[in-house]
Every structure is written in structure tokens, then in C-alpha cells.
Amino acid sequence: MSDYRRFNRYLALAAAMCCITLGANLNVQAATLANGSQSYRVNVLNAVGVADSSYLSTEPCSRADFAKLMVLSSTLKDSTDIQSQSAVTNDVPAAYAGSGYIKAALSKGWMRTRLGGTFAPNDQISLNEAVRAVLKALGYEDADMGSDVANGRLNMYKTLDINEGIAAVNGGDKLSKQDALNIIYNLLRTKTKDGGGIYGSAIKLNASKSGKELDVSEAMEANLTGPILVKNESSLPNVIPFYNDITATYYFNGNNSNGSGKRYLSSQLSNYGWLIIYYNEKSKTVWAYGEDTGNNTYHCIRGTVSSINYTDDNIAAPSSVVINDTEYALNSSDVKFMFSVNGDVKIGDNVILVCKQLTNEDGSEAEYYAIAVVEYYENSSDRYSNVIYAEGAGKYVAVDKNGNVVNN
């Protein structure tokens, strides 16, 4: 099974990354971010459970909002303490919904109380307050700012390019939610004072090759569960832990379902009897793959391998397979390996291929080709029945004949 665990990392990332498309010309300054880059940023932060699309807004960002963003961008994000309710200040009682985040932000020194010991959670946060918080998180202290600490902080913030995409300019300016989104994103891609790497590496984010953006692939892989083969609608609440959460986001065959996620899943299961599902519990996102192609980039094929074809004498790199009397080209070396003489998939095996449609040079649609494969078996005496295996943060999922997740 080790080959499958190694191989399906590609499928997991293909499933997760299909919604994160990088806009062109991202090397921009101040509040002039390139078209599409804001959606990329919010998708990255959503993928790691930091912020969602509500932060693509000019609405005010409160001090409580910013405290939560700071905590969710750090190693404290998975701490059970942030969910505990306890009085923090006289204006943040135990019943206050964000008390755990505020307590954590105060304990780390990122944020401070006001005179009189209040936190003022509903006040709109200022640029000065946000800059102090992110520089503190990076390891900088007041002593690093020179004799004029306030201006020293703003100068450092600009020197580190944390100001990119921020409409607020002066220290006393108030931040919108979009400003806060950009400050947090910029914090995550900035190197810490001690030179130990970018701040986001602590939550499995890496810098892109250009160093200007964040690469979310490792974080996505760490937070993915799947693939899960679902065979009936009644099993969906058992398979997807946040199934009844109305804020969840669904992608079907690579396209955003725009609020119709459950309806798509129900339709596919009713018409075809199965679906492949990945989910990210932190970002409450589901990626589903099925047979219905529609106008989608991706779709799945499920059937029995009747032949494995080669274009040359390289037995480690087959070029295509035939399933249900249709030939599918094989794309990556990992996919080819799975069907090679050294791989696990043989003629007569049952498989599910995740396929992507090629585009011709003139922009017209071309044939589909396989980018990934999930192996499954039915009615086999010497192999697991009704079970599929894949890698998603080391979480291996077994599914019984009714589509319910079981221990394996």
C-alpha cells in the first residue's frame, strides 16, 4: 500500500488546489494588487482555516476580529484553550464568543488592553495596533524601533513589505476587513527576525519561488481527508463532519457550486450511485468528483481495466489504459507507475480515474486524460472489498458497501 499512499498525494493536491488560481503580476505595491490576487489570498487563508471570503470587504475590522486572525495564523490555532470560555477583561466576559482568542492574543503580547483594563473588542482596530501585533509576532521588540517607537514600527512594517495591499496609510487610520486580510497574509509570508524562515512555516505554509506569495500545497495536504468513496446520500453526514454547516464551500469536478453543494452531491448520487469526496475540515471545504462532466474541467471514470498500453518498450511508463471500452491517456509519472509492471493496478482490477480535459492551442476542448487513480475492489476473495486507500495527512479511510466510513 505504500505506493498508493505516495501516489495519491498528487490526487489530494489536485483536488484541493483546483480552486486556488494565482493571478498575474503579483509583484505589486501598496493598495494596487493585481486582478485576482485578492481571491487567491483569501483562498489560501481559507484553506488553512484563518479567514474566509467575508474578509474581502471594506467593512470595519474589530479588535476582536483581529485578535482571532492573529491566533488562527499561529501555532495556537489548534489549541483547545482558544475554545474555552473565561472572563478576560471587564468588557470581555466569559460568555463573549471570542474570549479565547482575545485571551491568547493578550497572553502573547500581540495586543494590549486599553487604559482602565478594557479591551474594547468591538472598536475598529487601527493600523498602529495591527502593526505592533504583527511585528511582535515576528520577534521584534520596541528596542528594535529606535527612539521614535511609533514611527519606527511603521517604517519597519513598510521595509518588510507588510504594507502591500493596505488602504490605511497613517498610524491612526482604521482597518477594513480586507486590510486585515492583507496584513495577515503579508505577515505569513514574511521572514521572522531570527531568520528561521517565514512566519507561516509554523502552520505549514511555504514561500513561492518568487518569495512574494504563499505556497499552500503542504498545508492543504496536511489538512485533507480523502478520497472517500460515497455510495448513498444518507452516509454524507457521517462522511463530512461539517455537512450541516451552511457556511461550508463545495466544489464539484473543479467548479464552485455557488451555494448548491448539497444539491449537486444529491443529484450525482441519485443519478450515478457514487462520488469521490475530499474535505478540509479547517476551511470547511469539500471537493467532490463524479461521472457527470457538464462544463467541468474534471470528472471521474469508474470501471474495470481491460488493457494497459505502451507507446514504446518502457514497461515502467505505459501511455494509456482502456476502461469501459474507452482509452484514457496517462499524464504524470506517478499515474503511469501505478499501471506499470511494478505498480499495483493490473488488468481486471476495478479503478476510479480522475480525469482532466486538455485544451488545444486554439482554445478548443480536447480529450480527457487521467491525472490520478483510486483503486477499489468488489467481490474479491484475496483483496479488501469495498475499500479504497489514499493519503491525506496520514488519514486512511475505509468505506463499507453502504458508503459508511469504518475503522481500518
Which grid coordinates belong to 141?
Answer: 521588540
Does the pLDDT of residue 390 top 80, yes or no?
A: no
Positive or negative, the Cα torsion across 343, 366, 290, 371? positive
What pLDDT does 385 receive? 38
**Model pLDDT for residues 174-200, shown as the tens digit of each residue:** 999 999 999 999 999 999 999 889 999
Q: Which residue has the higher pLDDT, 224 or 305?
A: 305
**Model pLDDT for residues 236-245, shown as the tens digit of each residue:** 888 899 998 8
Q: Which residue has the higher pLDDT, 289 or 299?
A: 289
**Model pLDDT for residues 85-138, shown as the tens digit of each residue:** 778 999 999 889 889 999 999 999 999 999 889 999 999 999 999 999 999 999
Q: How confident is the model at residue 82 (pLDDT cuts 50, 70, 90)?
A: confident
Does the pLDDT of residue 274 top 50, yes or no?
A: yes
Instruction: For residues 101 and 377, give the distance between their C-alpha atoms in angstroms, rounded to a whole number.
Output: 46
Q: How confident is the model at residue 52 (pLDDT cuts 50, 70, 90)?
A: confident
**Model pLDDT for residues 296-334, shown as the tens digit of each residue:** 567 778 888 999 998 877 777 888 899 888 888 887 677
Quick one: average pLDDT of 161-184?
96
Which grid coordinates belong to 61?
Answer: 475590522
Q: How many CB atoms lie within 10 A of CB 311?
A: 9
Q: Which residue has the higher pLDDT, 222 or 127?
A: 127
Range of lowest pLDDT (49-53, 132-136, 288-292, 400-404): 400-404
Quick one: average pLDDT of 357-375?
66
Q: Which of 14-23, 134-143, 288-297, 378-387 has the highest mean pLDDT?
A: 134-143
Does the pLDDT of residue 407 top 50, yes or no?
A: no
- Cβ(227)–Cβ(279) under 8 Å? no
Q: What is the mean pLDDT of the chain?
A: 78
Quick one: average pLDDT of 46-73?
92
What pLDDT does 58 receive? 94
Quick one: average pLDDT of 205-220?
78
- Cβ(131)–Cβ(111) under 8 Å? no
Alpha carbons within 13 angstroms on the beta-carbon side of residue 333 total 3
Give every CB contact of residue 274 below 8 A, 6+ residues apart in sequence: 229, 230, 231, 290, 302, 403
Q: Which residue has the higher pLDDT, 6 or 14?
A: 14
What pLDDT does 195 receive? 83
Instruction: For residues 323 and 300, give the distance between their C-alpha atoms in angstroms, rounded to a whole number.
Output: 12
Run of H or E including 333: helix 333-339
Which one-letter DSSP state was computed for residue 144?
A: G
Percentage of residues of the chain with pLDDT beyond 90? 33
Quick one: average pLDDT of 45-51?
86
Nearest to 133 by CA among 184, 191, 99, 207: 184
